[in-house]
C-alpha cells in the first residue's frame, strides 16, 4: 500500500526505531464536563466502520496479486556494477614487463648460438655496458673475431709461425670458454623462462558493501522525510478535531432509538491521540477506506475513528 499509512513499515525495514507511547485502553484522562457546541466543520461526523470477515475477504480479492517473497526479494535486489577497467592504462604501465615476457616465451634459448647466448648474459649481468663493451669482452675473453692461421712452415719465418701458433691457441681457448659459458647462460635463461609470469592484473571488485550502505542511508533518509511529513499531516488533522460524534442505537420499549453523542476531547487525550497516530502503521486492506483517489490520507476521518476506538469507554 503505497501511501502515508504504510510508510512506517518501510521505516522498520530501514532500521529506524521509534519510542512513542501508545495510549492504553482505559487510561485515566481528564474529566469532561458537558459537550461543547461546535459548528459542523469542527465536528467529525463518524461512525466507527464495522468490518466483517466477509467484507475484508472481498477487499483482499480486489487487491493486486502479491509476489512470492523469493520473487519480490529477487526483483528488489540491487544491481551492483563493477568499475570499468582501463586496460590501455594497464598495458602502458606494464609495457616493459609485457615485452620481456613475450620475448622470453618466443625464444628457444637451448638452440641459441653460443656467442649470442653469452652476449645476452653479459648484457644481463652488466646493464651499464654498451654494445661496444660487449663486443670487446667477447673478443678479449673468448677470441670472438679472431680466426685460425694456416701455418706454412716452408714459406713462413719462425717469428710468423710463433705468432700464428699464439693466435690459434687463443682461438681454441676462447672456443672452449665460449662453449662452457654459453651452456651456463642457456640454462640460466631457460630457468627464467619457466618462472616468468605476466604482470598481475588487478581488476577492482565492485564495492558491494559501500553500495548497499549508500542504498540503506538513502532509504533511511527517505523514511525520515516521510515520517516528518506524516507527523505534520497528523498534527494538522488533530488540530481541527475538537469533538467526536458517535451514534448509539438501542431499543426503548421495543422501539429502535438512535442517540447522537458529541464527545469533546481533552488536551491530554488529543496529545495521546497525536502520539498514537505518529507511530501508526496502516493496514493495507482495512485502512483503504482512509485513502483518497490520489493516495492522500483522509486524516480527519482517521483521527476521529481512532479517537472513538481509544476512548470508547468515555463516550
What is residue 81's predicted lDDT score, i.e. its pLDDT? 56
Question: Smallest Cα–Cα separation from 105: which of 197, 201, 200?
Answer: 197
DSSP strand E in 163-308: where? Answer: 243-252, 255-264
* Pair 73, 213 in one domain: yes
For residue 176, what are the CA distances in angstroms to 142, 147, 180, 181? 8, 15, 6, 9
From the number of C-beta atoms within 10 Å of its C-beta (0-12, 13-18, 19+), residue 26 rates as: exposed
Question: Smallest Cα–Cα separation from 13: which of 269, 215, 285?
Answer: 215
The answer to whether residue 161 is domain-embedded is: yes
Last residue of a domain, one of 195, 230, 255: 195
Per-residue pLDDT in tens (0 to 9) along the chain, 315 residues: 444 554 444 444 444 444 433 344 444 333 333 333 333 344 334 444 444 444 434 443 444 444 444 444 455 555 555 567 777 888 888 888 888 899 999 999 999 999 999 999 999 999 999 999 999 999 999 989 888 888 888 888 889 989 888 888 888 999 999 999 999 999 999 999 998 888 887 777 777 788 888 889 999 999 999 999 999 999 988 888 888 877 778 788 888 888 887 888 888 988 999 999 998 888 888 888 989 989 889 888 898 888 888 888 776
pTM attached to this predicted model: 0.38
| Segment holding 167, helix H or strand E | helix 158-195
* Pair 185, 92 in one domain: yes
Q: Which residues of 98-121 are buried (b: 16+ CB within 10 A; e: fewer)?
A: eeebeebeeeebeebebeebbbbb
* Pair 48, 107 in one domain: no
State how many domains the chain has: 2
Last residue of a domain, one of 134, 164, 195: 195
* Pair 306, 240 in one domain: yes
The answer to whether residue 275 is domain-embedded is: yes
Last residue of a domain, one of 174, 195, 216: 195
What is residue 80's predicted lDDT score, i.e. its pLDDT? 53
Q: Which residues pair with 257 in a beta bridge?
A: 250
The answer to whether residue 71 is domain-embedded is: yes
The answer to whether residue 315 is domain-embedded is: no
* Pair 92, 190 in one domain: yes
Rounded Cα distance, 117 and 186, in Å:
6
* Pair 299, 212 in one domain: yes
Residue 294 phi, psi (nearest 5) = -85, 5
What is residue 186's predicted lDDT score, i.e. its pLDDT? 96
The answer to whether residue 202 is domain-embedded is: no
User: 125: domain range?
Assistant: 87-195
* Pair 74, 91 in one domain: no
Amino acid at each position: 500500500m503505497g501511501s502515508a499509512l504504510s510508510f512506517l513499515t518501510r521505516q522498520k525495514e530501514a532500521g529506524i526505531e521509534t519510542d512513542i507511547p501508545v495510549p492504553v485502553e482505559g487510561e485515566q484522562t481528564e474529566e469532561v464536563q458537558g459537550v461543547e457546541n461546535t459548528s459542523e466543520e469542527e465536528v467529525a461526523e463518524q461512525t466507527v466502520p464495522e468490518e466483517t470477515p466477509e467484507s475484508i475477504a472481498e477487499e483482499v480479492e480486489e487487491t493486486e496479486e502479491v509476489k512470492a517473497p523469493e520473487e519480490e526479494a529477487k526483483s528488489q535486489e540491487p544491481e551492483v556494477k563493477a568499475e570499468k577497467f582501463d586496460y590501455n592504462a594497464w598495458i602502458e604501465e606494464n609495457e616493459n614487463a609485457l615485452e620481456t615476457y613475450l620475448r622470453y616465451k618466443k625464444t628457444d634459448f637451448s638452440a641459441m648460438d653460443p656467442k649470442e647466448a653469452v652476449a645476452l648474459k653479459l648484457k644481463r649481468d652488466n646493464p651499464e655496458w654498451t654494445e661496444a663493451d660487449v663486443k670487446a669482452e667477447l673478443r678479449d675473453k673468448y677470441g670472438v673475431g679472431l680466426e685460425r692461421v694456416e701455418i706454412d712452415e716452408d714459406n713462413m719465418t719462425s717469428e710468423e709461425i710463433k705468432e700464428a701458433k699464439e693466435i690459434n691457441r687463443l682461438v681454441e681457448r676462447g672456443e672452449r670458454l665460449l662453449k662452457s659459458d654459453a651452456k651456463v647462460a642457456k640454462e640460466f635463461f631457460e630457468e627464467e623462462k619457466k618462472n616468468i609470469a605476466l604482470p598481475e592484473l588487478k581488476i577492482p571488485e565492485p564495492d558491494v558493501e559501500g553500495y548497499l550502505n549508500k542504498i540503506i542511508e538513502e532509504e533511511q533518509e527517505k523514511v525520515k522525510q516521510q515520517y516528518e511529513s506524516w507527523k505534520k499531516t497528523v498534527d494538522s488533522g488533530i488540530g481541527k478535531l475538537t469533538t467526536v460524534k458517535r451514534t448509539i442505537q438501542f431499543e426503548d420499549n421495543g422501539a429502535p432509538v438512535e442517540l447522537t453523542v458529541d464527545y469533546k476531547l481533552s488536551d491530554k487525550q488529543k496529545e495521546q491521540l497525536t502520539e498514537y497516530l505518529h507511530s501508526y502503521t496502516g493496514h493495507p486492506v482495512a485502512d483503504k477506506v482512509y485513502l483518497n483517489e490520489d493516495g492522500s490520507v483522509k486524516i480527519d476521518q482517521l483521527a476521529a475513528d481512532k479517537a472513538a476506538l481509544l476512548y470508547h469507554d468515555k463516550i
